[in-house]
Every structure is written in structure tokens, then in C-alpha cells.
Structure 1
Amino acid sequence: MRRVPFEPMLLPLGEDVIDQLTFINELINANKSVAQYQIMLRNAKVSPKLLLNPIMLNEAVQSTKIEGTQVTLDEVLEVEAQSRKNNKDVQEVMNYFHALNQGMETLRMLPISTRLFKLLHKTLMSNAVRGSNRSPGEYRKSQNFIGPAGCTIETATYIPPEPQLVDKYMDNLEKYINNPKDNLNELVRIAIIHAQFETIHPFLDGNGRIGRILIPIYLYYKEVIDYPNFFLSETLEKDKHKYYRYLNDTRYKSDWNQWIKFFLESVDIQARKNIKLIEEFNNLYEHDLAIAQRLVNSSSIKTLVDAMFQRPVFTVKTMTIATGLSDATCRRYLATLEENRLIFSNNKQRSKTFYYYNLLDKLR
């Protein structure tokens, strides 16, 4: 029997589909943890804006890892510092990072919409990465399917809607995002929105990454979080087979409650991990700033330490740009910090690269 493309339910989902009592405890825990994380961020000794760059890069690494790309955070930071040659795997990560930034900036001018999705997708598929020849920035005009490498449409684990229905379903999703007309909590809504986006699978490639970018952007858009830096890719990557199975169960078993429960559990796990991370960042910042200020008797050393938190892998050149300090001053300060083992270098004569391992160890 020939397998046919799936036709999703339109949003909002009815009360006969969603039973909030089945995930009420997970929802309470997730909301509590996210609220605590926001309070921690607001009172952090390190500015959240400083931490946004390395945390977003780490999210980019984790999200592309789900798609099979094997790149470390160190490698990406080395390319960003221009001390390592770029390659296609790193470029995929950098594209994701740029799309995240673009989404955050574009929300000031555009709502979450088809226009935004296509803009982010074009960025994600730029610079000759895998999939760059598969209609970047455009919804698909042909049938796609999902499954293990080498599978056919007959052996696929999921067949998304027919291409002529993509616009209809994406219009419905856009309306739900901006005018949901239900009484669900925003964390439950983003669980539904993420699953529906993945079910529609509107692009020929990159749907998983755009769908994961949508999570922090939506929560930021709805003012659930103060900064678009709440990412689930690391938690989802650890349970990726469960993640894919529960997504599929929303389609072929209409089991949305199981998926929402899993999503909320993931939110709670990630929020608690983020709380611990902010505590560690605070302690590290206080400790290492005090050491740096003892070693360098100048108020500008704080500017350097702040820049190290923003870019924990760097060269003298990238640090002079980040801090506004002179080349000679940066070299003198960095030599002192390296001599006292606060930072380490690769000892190259030209384009020496420095590593702030105290921070890197907590990000990895």
C-alpha cells in the first residue's frame, strides 16, 4: 500500500486533544524554573549581553550536532577569532549563530511570520553549506520525507504534507503564533508551535534548526524571557530519539499530551542547568576579575575581562577591537594574565591564540 503525505490538524488544538491535567505538574515546574532563571539573569554579576555570544555559539554547536555535524565549541570560537581556517561544518554552525542573531534583531521590525522564517532560512543555508542548493529562503515546491540515511519514501518514518498545502498550514501557524485564541500557557503553546512547524516541514532542508531557533525567539517575542538565550538543543540532543518518537506520536497517534509533557520536562531540565551555570559564571567572574585587578593596576583591566567572557578564544587583534584598548596595552595585559595562568596560549609567533579555559570548561 502506497504511503501518503500526512495532513496535520489546524491550530488551535481542541480541548478534546489537549488535557492539561496530564502535564500540570511539569508545567508548574517548568514555569517556576524559567522564572528563577530570569531572576538570576537580572541579578547576574556578568551582564547577560556579554554571555549572549558564547552561549548562542554553544547553542549553534548543539543544534547542528542533532543534524549530524561534528564540531566542537573550541573549533567554532577559533574560526570566529580568525585563528583557524573555516570549513563547511563550522560554517553550518556560524550560519545558525547568525540566524539566531538575525531573528533577535528582526523581531524589532517584524512579527514572527512567513517573512521571518524565510529570512532566517536563507541565512541558515548561505555560504555554500549542505542544502544551500535546496531553495534557500523559499518554502518547498516538492515532496520531502524524513527517515534514516538511505531510506525511500516507502520506508520513511514520516512524510510531511504535500507541497501545495504548505502555505495553508504555515498561514495557520502564523495566525496561531500571533493570535492563538486558546487559554494555554506560553510554554505549552511553544511546544505545540515547535511540533507543528516540524510536522509541516516547510523547507527542503534545515527545518529542525529553524524549528529550534523558533523556541527562544518565540519566548522572547512573548516576553516570557528577557533575552533570546533560552535554548533547548543541548537537552533535546541528549534525548533525540525520544524527541523524534514523541514528535511522530503527535502525528500518527494524536498524542499531544505526551509530547507537551516531554517538552516541559526538557524546559525544566534546561532552566535548572542554566541557573547553575549563572551561579558558576558569577563566582568565576568575581574570582578572576579580582585576580586580574591584583595583577594589573588599571581600571581598564575590567574591560579586558568582560571581553574575555564574551569571547573566551581570542587573539590580540580581536581583543583590541572588542575592548578599544591599544595593541601594546592588550599585549602587556595578556602577557601578565598568561604568565599567571589565568589564560593560556598556543605559543605561535604569529596570530597567537589565547584560551580562557576557566570559562570554556563551563560552556562545553
Structure 2
Amino acid sequence: MLKAAIAANIALARLDQAAALLPNPTVLINAIPLLEAQASSEIENIVTTTDDLFRHMDDDDAADPATKETLRYRTALRRGFEATAARGVTRRMAEAVCTAIKSREMQLRVLPGTRIVNPATGNIVYSPPEGREVIAEKLTEWERFIHAEDGMDPLVRLAAAHYQFEAIHPFTDGNGRTGRILNVLMLVEAGLLRQPILYLSRYIIANKSDYYRGLLGVTARQDWESWIIFLLNGIRQASDDGVAVIAAIRDLRDDFAQRARLATRGGADSELLAVMFEQPYTRIRTVVDRCGVSRPTATKWLEALVDAGLLADTKIGRDRLFVNRELTDLLVRFSASAQEQG
């Protein structure tokens, strides 16, 4: 466990440092939480595509229900991140995160009868505690454990706290996604990450049976060691994957910048390039607002990038979108490779 904790801490520190050195870290703050949202929702059988998520990331009115629910995960992560900076990870924050995910007020379970079943066999594998007062008391203990100053490694504490939260199962729905958001926020509160950019859910998808087996092992046999090592290995792998994608984004951005300046005859300034990488799908009005240029100028720049093969031009209704396909392809490959490595 000590070896796994050391390796995970080193990898996480590298991820945080790599993100800090990226010229425009907004691309990570936008993209990685969105991929995390997709993967975390997929664990709950809510399936959408990366294209749909990026296309609707700043306007989900026309999105399908699965895409809307996945985008709410990203919203919940952002709200939780803001709350962590102000108050740290708390029971109240968990309620707010779950409320944002489900888009309705989520309070502690009241009705009895909640059971966790094996989806393959239908057999009951776990019965979480019942009664609002009992659940509230256990969440208070969970919160106290998170903030205890006892010298425990923060990553070991995260693994134990994640089991505790999932075992309490405080809400009627959304517990898994809420717990996975809390994982990242605990790292932020501990000062191990400056931004919520750890992409851990893909590791869980790739090792889904081991994930649930590990949780059940703690419940049935108090096998904490296997569970904690499993999650520590996930943090190490997800951190290594994150460092790799940051390097790839940096290389792509530098190459894209050179080609874009040629295509626009020097018109593509740093702000335009920032827009192209902060979100893969860009609207003309976004360039107008961010770059302080007229609509004809913004249109001319974007069309020049389309002609040069740097962007793809597509329409959603009456709205014209310009897609940084090279960036989306990079992120999709990263997402797929992270799953395969699991």
C-alpha cells in the first residue's frame, strides 16, 4: 500500500505541474471534466457521444436527454469546485452536487427498502443503512474522517472515504456520480490538484468488475488493502494519462498556431487560438466577443481556417459551428486509450 501511495502521489504531482505549465489551461478545465462526465455517466448506463457533448457544451437546449444529464455532471463538478474553495468537502456540498446532477432537490433518503443488486443475477449484494437520522449521522462521521488531522496519506484517505460514501448511499439516485466528483474535490482540498482535471472514471469503467468487487470486499471481509491499492493504482494511471494528453495538446497547439497564421496571413492572434482550443466547437459570435473584431472579420478568419483544413464547418439549426477536429480527435483517442489501458 505504501509503494502504491508513493507512486500515485508522484504521478499526481506531475499531472498538476504539467497542467500549470500549459499556456492556456482552460482547454483542460473544459475538456477533461467533460470527458470525466461522459465516463462517469456511462458507468450508470447514461451514454452519449463526445461530439454531442462538445457541440452542446455551452448551449444544451437542443441536446438529447442523455447529453443533458451528462452535461449536468460537469456543472455539478464546477459548483463543487467553487464550494471546495470556500468551505471544503462537506455533507451539504454532497447534497448540492447530487442536486445539480439530477436537476432536482436531492435530500437524504427517507423511505426504507433500498437494495443494491447484482445486475447479472438480480441477487441483493448490499443493503445500505436506512433512516434519515442514521444516514445523517454516518455522513457526519464521513465528513469528520475527511478532515481529520491524523497524518494519513490524502490518497489513502480518499480511497477510504469513497468506500464510506458509497456504502452510506445517502440519496435515492446519483450516489455513484456524486461520489466520483467528491474524489476529485478531495484532491483539490488537500492541495494536490489546483484544478479538477483527474480523469479517474475511465479507469473505473475499464475495471468495472474489480471496482465493485473491491467495494464488496470491504463490506464482506474488511479487505481494505485490496480496495485502497486498486484506487491508488487508478489515480497513478489516470495521472500518467493526463500528463500524456497535456503534452499532446501542447504539441498540437504549437503546430496549429503556425498553420493558422499562414492560413489567415497573420490574422490569427493568440486570442483566436485560445478560443480554438478552449472548446472544440466555436461560434462566430464567440470569436467576435473574445477577439474584439467585427463579425465579417471573424467570419473571414474562420473560413480561412476551414479552407486550410484546420477547422470543419457544420450547422446546427441556424447556427454555424466551426470544429477543431484535430483537437476532438486527440481527446477521443485519449479517452479510448485510457479505457484500453485499464
TM over 0.5: yes
For residues 322 and 154 of structure 2, what CA distance do their matches in structure 1 show? Answer: 42
Are 1:206 and 2:174 matched, yes or no? yes
Are 1:114 and 2:91 matched, yes or no? yes
- Structure 1 SS opposite 2:46: coil
Q: Match for 1:218 among 175, 186, 206?
A: 186
Deviations 1:304-332 (A, max 9, x none): 11112111023223443454443222211
For residues 167 and 59 of structure 2, what CA distance do their matches in structure 1 show? Answer: 38
Letter in 1 for 2:175: N
Deviations 1:266-305 (A, max 9, x none): 1111111111111101101111011112222446532111
For residues 255 and 277 of structure 2, what CA distance do their matches in structure 1 show? Answer: 13
Letter in 2 for 1:146: I
- Structure 2 SS opposite 1:107: helix
Aligned to 1:11: none
Aligned to 1:77: 54
Asked whether the 8 Å contact 1:293–1:302 carries over to 2, the reply is no
Aligned to 1:352: 320
Q: How does 1:161-310 map to 2 (within 5 A)?
A: 161-163=129-131, 164-178=133-147, 180-298=148-266, 301-310=269-278
Letter in 2 for 1:333: W
Normalized per residue, the structure richer in helix is 2
For residues 214 and 83 of structure 1, what CA distance do their matches in structure 2 show? Answer: 25
For residues 247 and 30 of structure 2, what CA distance do their matches in structure 1 show? Answer: 18
Aligned to 1:14: none
Deviations 1:185-218 (A, max 9, x none): 1111101111110010001100000000001111
Change (3 A) 1:161 1:84: closer
Asked whether the 8 Å contact 1:215–1:231 carries over to 2, the reply is no
Q: Match for 2:288 among 304, 309, 320?
A: 320
Change (3 A) 1:206 1:301: same
Change (3 A) 1:348 1:166: closer
Q: Match for 2:40 among 60, 63, 66?
A: 63
- Structure 2 SS opposite 1:353: strand
Aligned to 2:66: 89
Paired residues in the alignment total 330
For residues 287 and 37 of structure 1, what CA distance do their matches in structure 2 show? Answer: 22
Extract unaligned runs of 5+ from structure 2. 333-342
- Structure 1 SS opposite 2:217: helix
Aligned to 1:147: 117
Amino-acid identity (%): 27
Asked whether the 8 Å contact 2:76–2:101 carries over to 1, the reply is yes
Letter in 2 for 1:49: T
Extract unaligned runs of 5+ from structure 1. 1-22, 127-131
Deviations 1:86-145 (A, max 9, x none): 22111111111100010111223222112111111111111xxxxx5xxx3211112311
For residues 54 and 71 of structure 1, what CA distance do their matches in structure 2 show? Answer: 15
- Give the deviation of 1:353 after TM superposition: 2.1
Moved more, 200-209 or 54-63: 54-63
Query: Taking CA–CA contacts closer than 8 Å with sequence separation of 6 or more, which of the two structures ends up with the larger relative contact order?
Result: 1
For the aligned residue pairs, the C-alpha RMSD in angstroms reads: 2.0
Aligned to 1:19: none
